Chains A and B, each alone.
Chain A
Amino acid sequence: MWVDEDLTLEGLGTGVAPRTRRRRGLRIGAALAWVRDRLATTPGRLVLISILVVVGAVCFGAVAIGAEQSRERAAKAARNQTEPLLVQAKNLYTSLSDANATVATGLLSGGVETAANRNRYLGDLATAGGALSTLTREAGTAGNASSALGTIAEELPTYSGLIETARTNNRLGFPIGAAYVRAAAALMTSRMLPAAELLYRTEAQRLDDDYHTGSATSSLVTFAAASALTLILLLLAQWYVMRISRRILNVPMVVATVVVLGVSVWGIVGLVSAQNALETAHRNGSDSVEALSAATVLLSRAQGDLSLAIVNRGTDTADPNDFQVVRRVLERPGGVIAEISALARRTGTTAAAQNFDGEYATYQAKTHELTGLENSGQLTDAIRLAPQASAISEALSHNLAQQIDAAQGRFKRAAADATSATDGLAFAIPLITVLAAVLALLGLRQRINEYR
């Protein structure tokens, strides 16, 4: 574009300011003198306007593409990187939490746990391992996240070792099996789950940052302001040309104005619809994923507490206390379950949420019965009831997993809309910028030539 300008100016025969290598003051003085000379005559003014229009067009192009790109990059990052990583962090968190609850329930119900229970635990470990390797590959650079991943990778073999020792002792009928379950659960809750929570939090916040960048008002305002200023510049140039000549319309300049207006409207519409789609991805997609994931983690924490309360009966009251705390976080007004219902109403998926609510009421009743037995000295009966509570808890987490899949689908569709809404702009903006500059120069050159 600068080349264009130089060529044009040479072509006009006005010559450029002498490229002096002397002191700066002199150069500025010379440039000002040159501008003063040009302002004195009409063709001189037209040359100045030409320079202004070209500079204006280039500035418009640069600012507009900058604003568009910052949003497009954010939307693409949300769709292709941060949200998929959030899902991996969620998988890691929920599978570790579920493994802990599953194993406590399994080892409680008799010396040898059922095959289904064992498979669920092994499946959880496999999911955790898979998520751990993905996260290490994709997200393992940030300091905190990297050390959290390191903690989980270090402790996972120790955890599963403690669990296997617990199983062996349980098979032998030794009560030390319960102590091993307790040691493993302590390792999980004091070291591994906090690390998983940190990872989840990091990824959730990165996604949130992308949402903020992807729907930043400043980008849209910048784009609109750049468009408006360029249009004003073009209109002013035409107004001046119209005043000095008899002609009403300068065709190339009108065309230049129209194409700039066109790309501005396209850009604003594109940015606004990308923003709306990203909002939809956020509000109808990942908000639900986040709330449902939190519910999954908290439910397995509650189920773990419920089982560990029996395992640790007579040694510790932390587990039944924690069970009550987690229940409050889930059930209180404005709590996690209320949020799930609110999001279900927002996204029009109330059927699954109602199923969940119904199932959760069953779970409440069963756990109430269980803790009642426990607190009235019927420990053996409570132990017999424990697998039933565990089965309901599993059904609940299955329901949540299905809702998460659906929310994930909503996210993907909206995020795809968000990235496609600005398709072509990255190519069109520079092209239109050059086109507008060339057209404007052509139009002005016709007028300048008339003074030859």
Chain B
Amino acid sequence: MTRPLRYLAAIVLLAGTLAGCGATSDHALNLTLSALATPRANSTPSPPTKKVNCRHATASLRPPAALPAPNALPAGSFMAQIRKRGYLIAGVNTGAYKFGSLNPTTGTIEGFEIDLVNEVAAAIFGNASGHVRYFALTVPQRFTAVEDGRVDIVADTITITCPRRALVDFSTVYYNATQRLLVPRGSGVKDIQALAHKRVCATASSTPIDVMKAMSAADRPVPVGMPQAIDCLVALQQGTGNIAAISTDSSILQGFQAQDPNNTEIVGPSLGSVPYGMAISKAHPDFVRFVNGVLARLEQDGTWQRLQAEWLGQFHQLEATPTPEYDG
């Protein structure tokens, strides 16, 4: 009896050992599956905006009586520092067609705003060529980049507002845009009243959304927020989201209309004025005055008008030359 028992024990032991040495390991599988399941990163969140009041948002610092020549910049001034560095660092827009956009053919950033920045660089270096580095910035980055000194100046369709004035300094108004509506051509929509209860697209948590929300319940459109205004045009062209109109700055909408000229039109009166200013750090009032001097010169000698006609004349309704306002 003991012999068979011993055999049994031996066989079971052998089987167990052999099975044990081949035990499967799922290490590679678990590692790769968890690596593949890595969730996509999100955008860096934007800081909340505080409610701030100011007397006269669009008034800026008075320029010097005579603008210094590039080779005679005041010693110790921020302009002299920039000149010493060899290039101006400018935050710009890359998606506003003809205003400030990345040309997909050449890979360069160009437009009306970009040329204004180039004029500022030319005033420091004599000419702008090779003396400007362009930063494409997100909406929240436009202010943080100025505050922490990563850029010297931002010209990126920034509307001058009181809360923003609390963060950065602004130049005088360099372009007076208005808030308008872009609708499909032939839709019959002539103004915002015709859009009551219809879906109107705009950049999420932007001024146009606030304007729509402030309308009376009977006239109010249904605001649809998208990450970017251009996403609204994609939705309109693709017929997704049942979008009846897009509301944003005229400068942007005219760029949209230029990219889809046969099928879209800009309609209705202005829904609000949108004054653009260049953002500069509060630490450099000398540079604010200098830029205001450059802008005043461009507006007086016809350069501003020439650049507007050159970049925007073909598509845009030309805006009047802005009148600079000074408060100190």
Mark A residues whose CB is within 8 Å of B.
107, 109-111, 162, 165, 169-170, 172-180, 182-183, 189, 197, 200-201, 204-205, 208, 211-212, 215, 217, 220-221, 223-225, 227-229, 231-232, 235-236, 268, 272, 275-276, 278-279, 282-283, 287-288, 290-291, 293-294, 297-298, 313-318, 321-322, 324-326, 329-330, 334-336, 339, 343, 376-380, 383-384
Is B28 on the interface with A (CB-CB < 8 A)? yes
Within the complex, the shortest CB–CB distance from B153 to chain A, in Å, comes to: 12
B7–A329 CB distance below 8 A:
no
B94: interface (CB < 8 Å): yes
- Rounded to whole Å, the gap between the CB of A361 and the closest CB of chain B is 20
In the complex, the answer to whether B41 meets A321 with C-beta atoms within 8 Å is yes
Chief secondary structure at chain B's binding surface: mixed
**B72 CB within 8 Å of chain A:** no
In angstroms, how far is the closest chain B Cβ from the Cβ of A105? Answer: 13
How near does chain A come to B296, taking the closest CB pair, in angstroms?
A: 27
Q: How far is the CA of A174 from the CA of B260 in the complex (A)?
A: 9
Does B306 have its Cβ within 8 Å of any Cβ on chain A? no
A298–B44 CB distance below 8 A? no
With contacts A107-B104, A322-B40, A380-B108 known, is A176 near B19, CB below 8 A? no
- Asked if B146 is at the interface of the complex by the 8 Å CB criterion, the answer is no
Residues of A within 8 A of B18 (CB): 220, 268, 272, 275
Check A111–B26 contact: CB distance below 8 A: no
Once A179-B233, A217-B20, A377-B134 are accepted as A-B contacts, the answer to whether A208 and B26 lie under 8 Å apart by CB is: yes
Q: Cβ of B47 < 8 Å from any Cβ of A?
A: no
Are A221 and B15 in contact (CB-based, < 8 A)? yes
Which residues of A have CB within 8 Å of B4?
231-232, 235-236
Please, what's the 1-or-0 string for B220-236, where 1 marks a CB less than 8 Å from any CB in chain A?
Answer: 00000001101101100
In the bound assembly, the distance between CA atoms of A278 and B25 in angstroms comes to 12
With CB as the reference atom, state the residue of chain B lying closest to A384: B107
**A/B pair count, beta carbons within 8 Å:** 215
What's the nearest-Cβ distance from chain B to residue A422, in Å? Answer: 14
The answer to whether A179 and B231 touch across the interface, beta carbons within 8 angstroms, is yes
A313 touches B15 (CB 8 A): no
Q: Do B107 and A380 touch (CB < 8 A)?
A: yes
The distance in angstroms between the C-alpha atoms of A329 and B41, with both chains bound, is: 12
Known contacts A174-B97, A179-B95, A315-B138, A282 near B32 by CB under 8 Å: no
B36 adjacent to A294 (CB under 8 Å): yes
CA distance A292 to B107 in the complex (A): 35
Can you show 25 pairs from A to B with CB atoms below 8 A apart? A175-B96, A175-B97, A176-B233, A178-B94, A178-B104, A179-B231, A180-B234, A189-B40, A197-B37, A201-B33, A208-B29, A212-B24, A220-B19, A225-B15, A232-B4, A272-B22, A276-B22, A298-B38, A316-B43, A318-B42, A325-B40, A377-B133, A377-B134, A379-B109, A380-B107
Contact A336 B24 (CB under 8 A): no
Measured as residues with beta carbon below 8 angstroms from the partner, the interface class of chain B is: 35 or more
Report chain A residues within 8 Å CB of B105: 110-111, 173
Cα distance, A204 to B34, chains bound together (Å):
12
Known interface pairs A329-B38, A377-B134, A380-B109; A336-B31 also in contact (CB < 8 Å): yes
* Chain B residues engaging chain A, CB cutoff 8 angstroms: 3-5, 7-8, 11-12, 14-16, 18-20, 22-26, 28-29, 31-33, 35-38, 40-44, 89-90, 92-97, 101-109, 133-138, 141, 151, 156, 227-228, 230-231, 233-234, 237-238, 255-256, 259-260
Q: Is the CB of A215 within 8 A of B22?
A: yes
Is B101 in contact with A314, judged by CB distance below 8 angstroms? no
Extra A-B contacts (5), CB below 8 Å, given A176-B230, A268-B15, A290-B29: A232-B8, A282-B24, A294-B35, A298-B35, A377-B151
Complex Cα spacing A313 to B156, Å: 13
CB <8 Å contact, B40 and A318: yes
Task: Write out the residue numbers on chain A whose beta carbons fall within 8 Å of the beta carbon of B11.
Answer: 224-225, 227-228, 268
Contact A279 B107 (CB under 8 A): no
For A110, list chain B residues within 8 Å (CB): 104-107
Separation in Å of the B38 CB from the closest CB of chain A? Answer: 5
**Given A291-B28, A383-B107, does the pair A175, B102 have CB atoms closer than 8 Å?**
yes
Cα distance, A162 to B3, chains bound together (Å): 78
Contact B35 A335 (CB under 8 A): yes
Contact A379 B134 (CB under 8 A): yes
B46: nearest chain-A partner, CB-CB:
A317
In the complex, how many angstroms separate the beta carbon of B29 from the nearest chain A beta carbon?
Answer: 6
Task: Give, as a whole number of angstroms, the nearest-CB distance from B50 to chain A.
Answer: 22
Give the complex CA separation of A198 and B171 in angstroms. 53
Closest Cβ of chain A: how far from B117's Cβ, in Å?
A: 12
Neighbour of A377 across the interface among B12, B29, B89, B103, CB < 8 A: B89
Q: A279 near B22 (CB under 8 angstroms)?
A: yes
Structural contact, A279 and B24, CB atoms closer than 8 A: yes
Chain A residues with Cβ below 8 Å from B137 are 314
Docked-complex contact B228 and A179, CB < 8 angstroms: yes
What are the residues of chain B within 8 A of A172 when measuring CB–CB?
A: 259
The distance from the CB of B258 to the nearest CB of chain A, in whole angstroms, is 8
B-chain residues with CB within 8 Å of residue A175 when the two chains form the complex? 94-97, 101-102, 104, 230, 255, 259
- Which chain B residue has the least Cβ–Cβ distance from A386? B107
Q: Which A residues lie within 8 Å of B38 (CB)?
A: 298, 325-326, 329
Do B12 and A221 touch across chains, with their CB atoms under 8 A apart?
Answer: yes
Q: In this complex, what residue of A is CB-closest to B44? A: A317
Q: How far is the CB of A214 from chain B (nearest CB, A)?
A: 9
Question: Distance (Å) between the CB of A152 and the closest chain B CB?
Answer: 16
